[in-house]
Structure 1
Amino acid sequence: MERESPTGPDWDRLYEFAASQEGLFTTRQGAEAGYSPQLLQHYVRIGRVRRIRRGIYRLVHFPAGEHEDLVAIWLWSEQAGTFSHQTALALYDLSDVLPSRIHLTLPDSWRHRRLRAPNVVVLHYADLLEAECRWAGAVRVTSPTRTLNDCAQAALSPDLLRQATQQAMHRGIVTGSLPLVEEALKPFGGLGT
């Protein structure tokens, strides 16, 4: 890899950031690697990096990632967001859900921020415990149990909720009872078998 002068931009450091984030990095991470906003704009002009959205860039020659769109949203959230609800179901491959929007849970302290969320994002707010989170590649996702409970509280279609719960239990990724799910499904014939 190219390495600029020891006091200037450090391509290896920038690459380290991007490599752990499916080829993406933020303006802040670029600055930590010695790249000014002006130098990043120069690299955009010469085709070395591509601007994904305000403050988020992609190394052009980095292989495309499976969840690159989610990584961009996660970086937009300053790495504080956790993918949840239907998005988490899709990441776990539970049910036939095909979310049209990306569900992201931010810390409750973010509730009063004046955020301009990307159009495809639905924001939720909760202070999640570490035990309620997992990693799916480069992004954080709610645990299967938390995901099912969130979907139950958000009134996900009973058929999809039942299917997701049955699949999670069959695969052994949730154990024990799920009172919120059971309560949500009670008017629709329960969990079934």
Structure 2
Amino acid sequence: MTRKRAQTPDWNRLFDFALGQAGLFTTKQAAESGYSPQLLVHYVHIGKVVRIRRGVYRLVHYPLAQDEGLVTVWLWSEQQGVFSHETALSLHHLSDVLPNKIHLTLPADWKHRRFRVPPGVVLHHADVATAERSRPAAIPVTSPLRTLQDCARAQLSPELLHQAISQALDRGLIRKSDVARIQDATSPTGHRKR
């Protein structure tokens, strides 16, 4: 019987994971790079990495990123979540919305999973198609049109929604024909009152 040799830790591979994630990486990514949980604990003790939350670490010498909190939540979601609703409005710089919670949409089949949601995170469950996603930073965000539709369904204040629609039109992020689809989302039946 042959024993499988332990993979040699590969700092470059770990750094490649962290590079596109604001200096953060997961325990799973560390394992794929040859780092055992024991070696990670050692690196925490000697100050090479910092534990951000369970299963998420940051390289100490990587510059702090403005969106580190969002990347941490995205990594917590096993990279399956998409930032949506008011969080996406803010990331797209649409309206004067100042979200006090992080909105994250997880796949619909995650609805019945049991797990501890990070503080300050509001979960939504829906399947977000590739065409309804954008990536303005290290994290996936719902497209401007999907974001506006989600905010309309969630009954964002009419003033902020109107402001966001106007700004999206002015910046060419949506078309005039999309406005009706957004307005359809405001009605409980999914259709505008005529």
Instruction: Provide the TM-score with structure 2 as the length reference.
Output: 0.89
1:47 corresponds in structure 2 to: 47
Q: Deviations over 1:160-189 (max 9, x none)?
A: 111111000011101123235335779xxx
- Give the Cα separation in 2 of the matches to 1:31 and 1:178: 47
CA–CA distance in structure 2, aligned partners of residues 62 and 185 of structure 1: 43
- Match runs of 1:1-193 below 5 Å: 7-175=7-175, 176-183=177-184
Distance of 2:7 and 2:106 partners within structure 1: 37
Distance of aligned partners of 1:47 and 1:146 in 2 relative to their CA distance in 1, 3 Å threshold = same
Report if aligned partners of 1:106, 1:124 keep a CA contact under 8 Å in 2.
Answer: yes
Cα distance between partner residues in 2 of 1:25 and 1:92:
25
Q: Among the aligned pairs, what percent are the same residue?
A: 59
Instruction: Give the distance between the partners of 1:149 and 1:97, measured in 2 at CA.
Output: 15
SS of match in other structure, 2:150: helix
Task: Name the structure 2 match of 1:190.
Answer: none
Give me the TM-score of the superposition, normalised by structure 1: 0.90
> CA separation in 2, counterparts of 1:88 and 1:137?
11
What stretches of structure 1 of length at least 5 have no aligned partner?
1-5, 187-193
How many residues end up aligned between the 2 structures? Answer: 181
Q: Relative to 1, partners in 2 of residues 1:185 and 1:36: Cα closer, same or farther, differing over 3 Å?
A: closer
Cα distance in 1 for partners of 2:7, 2:73 equals 32
- C-alpha contact (below 8 Å) 1:94/1:163 kept by paired residues: yes
Cα distance between partner residues in 1 of 2:33 and 2:149 = 41
Q: C-alpha distance in 2, partners of 1:102/1:11?
A: 32
| RMSD of aligned residue pairs (Cα, Å) | 1.6
SS in 2 for 1:136: coil
Matched letter for residue 104 of structure 1: L
SS for the counterpart of 2:178 is coil
Tell me the SS of whatever aligns to 1:139.
coil
Structure 2: gaps spanning 5 or more residues: 1-5, 188-194
